[in-house]
Amino acid sequence: MLEFVERTDGKEKEITTIALVVTLIVLLILAGTSIAMLTGENGIIKRATQAKENSRKAEVREKLELILLNAYNEKMLNDKYNQNEFLDNMITRGIEGAEVKGDIAIADGYAYEIDRSVPKIGKYLGKEKDLVFPEIVTSVTLAEDNKTATIHITAKEERNGISKIEIIQYGHVLETYEYENIKEEITENFITKQNGVYTIKVYTGITISERVKVEGIIASIEYSPNGSEEYKKEHRVKVSVKETDEKVKSIKYQWLDTTVEPSKESFLENCENNGTVIGKGVTGTYYLWILLETENGKTNICRSEGFNFDNQGPIVQLTSTPTSETSFTLNASANDKHSGIERYEFYVEGETIDTQVTQISSVQAVWAGTEMAEEKECYVRVYDVAGNQTTILVSARTKLYVWEISVLQQPAYYSIEVGKVNGGVTLTFPSKRREKANFENFNHKSRNR
């Protein structure tokens, strides 16, 4: 508020104008400061927007972490799990609008790397709109004799360039092409003798992958059956040589857990044409590799599709918990990432107390007696579907009690430990003043030791 001062020297008008100008300047400064606080680099609006952005980004990460944790459990317990289509479907079903591009999960516009082998979430890559994805085009051409196929790969990324291309099948890297961040279009041709799904992984500023299916190759060796997803302790495969113009000199074989073609020298076992080869004693996915040699010295190495073996017992943990003075509980947890859990058998001192046929990962069994028990030897035996078993031992006992006796004649407390000795009760008086106590009348209470 401006106050007008009556002056006799005629300068009232001049003072009022100066005060008005000063006030306006101050108001402009305050307004500028307020605008800067609201809209500046560290302004309120900027910070509020950034906080909202961080919250949305953290929410996406939390959702992905939960899905990948569930995927890890599926990997341990579900023999149908795979780190490709199965994992992709879990992510896209679990988060509305999410998509997966190679090893990148995108939700709500935020992109995160994913490590498929664990699986787990990796680093934050930024907003989807700011990422540059390489162009990948793939196609497959069968040879005229249908014995091989060529995978044609064309890739391009003009900003960062391409540093590497990998050809992968069933988790094994079959071929690697390395470059020094080539920004021009790259073309590679990979020849294969095996049907199946191949992953083409392209490394640029980010890593992207694409899957391509090869089918129609007629191998010179027929396998019956040709692969099996069922987990068994052993698989039997009939091996037959298809019609050929050359006489077969020898057929050698080996079981390997890789799709990388082995050397000729590594084949040691022989088999006859139309003979049966037995695979056993291994766990995981294995392939039957055959080396065919003709009398003219020509050779051919090819393999079957994957066979799932399980010769490994479940992973088991066992603990015991006293529940009363005459009972205890046995707690068993187990997982088997191959054929899966079939049943649990609980034993106390060599006698079966419970059998549970179930596939769940955690079960309990209760031992109930009629009196307090000294430590007893207990164990659980867990079987998987393939017939493997694991036995874990633990010692268990019922609860012990400490009785507190309140002596009425004097404020003294005596602890008596109660335990079974030769069918009687043992009373232990730790205090030297026990001769002064009158036990004719006392209050008692029990507490867990």
Element (H, E) at 48: helix 44-77
Cα 185 to the center of its chain, rounded Å: 36
Pairing label, strands 307-309, 284-294: antiparallel
Q: Which of 223, 340, 242 is closest to 286 using CA atoms?
A: 223
Q: Which of 200, 199, 171, 192 is closest to 258 using CA atoms?
A: 171
Q: Is 385 helix (H, G, I), strand (E, B) or coil?
A: coil
- Tell me the two tokens of residue 321: 């918990």
Sign of the CA dihedral running 79, 85, 86, 87:
positive
Note the pLDDT of residue 30: 75
pLDDT tens digits along 326-343: 999 999 999 998 999 999
Q: How confident is the model at residue 406 (pLDDT cuts 50, 70, 90)?
A: very low
The per-residue pLDDT of the chain, averaged, comes to 83
Pairing label, strands 221-224, 362-368: unpaired
Stated pTM of the model: 0.60
Q: How confident is the model at residue 402 (pLDDT cuts 50, 70, 90)?
A: very low
* Contact yes or no for 91/67 (Cβ under 8 A): yes
109 phi, psi to nearest 5 deg: 90, -5
Mean pLDDT, range 65-75, rounded to an integer: 89
d(CA 320, CA 396): 6
Note the pLDDT of residue 41: 66
Share of the chain above pLDDT 70, in %: 82
Element (H, E) at 202: strand 196-203
Q: How confident is the model at residue 17 (pLDDT cuts 50, 70, 90)?
A: confident
- Tell me the two tokens of residue 62: 């939390």
Q: How confident is the model at residue 44 (pLDDT cuts 50, 70, 90)?
A: low
* Contact yes or no for 378/395 (Cβ under 8 A): yes
Q: Is the pLDDT of residue 445 over 50?
A: no
Cα 158 to the center of its chain, rounded Å: 35
Q: Which of 272, 265, 255, 273 is closest to 299 using CA atoms?
A: 265
d(CA 351, CA 385): 24
Q: Is 13 helix (H, G, I), strand (E, B) or coil?
A: helix
Q: Is the pLDDT of residue 323 over 80?
A: yes
Note the pLDDT of residue 36: 62
pLDDT higher for 155 or 208? 155
Q: How confident is the model at residue 367 (pLDDT cuts 50, 70, 90)?
A: very high
Q: Which of 320, 314, 441 is closest to 386 using CA atoms?
A: 314
| Range from 98-102, 291-295, 313-317 that averages highest in pLDDT | 313-317
* Contact yes or no for 106/91 (Cβ under 8 A): no
String of b and e for 369-403 (b: at least 16 CB within 10 Å)? eeebbeebebbbbbbbbbebebebebebebbebee
Q: Which of 163, 56, 74 is closest to 110 using CA atoms?
A: 56
d(CA 254, CA 277): 9
Note the pLDDT of residue 341: 94
40-54, 77-91, 174-188, 253-267: least confident range: 40-54
Q: How confident is the model at residue 426 (pLDDT cuts 50, 70, 90)?
A: very low
Mean pLDDT, range 75-80, rounded to an integer: 78
Mean pLDDT, range 267-275, rounded to an integer: 94
pLDDT tens digits along 103-155: 899 999 999 988 888 889 988 888 988 888 889 999 999 998 888 899 999 99
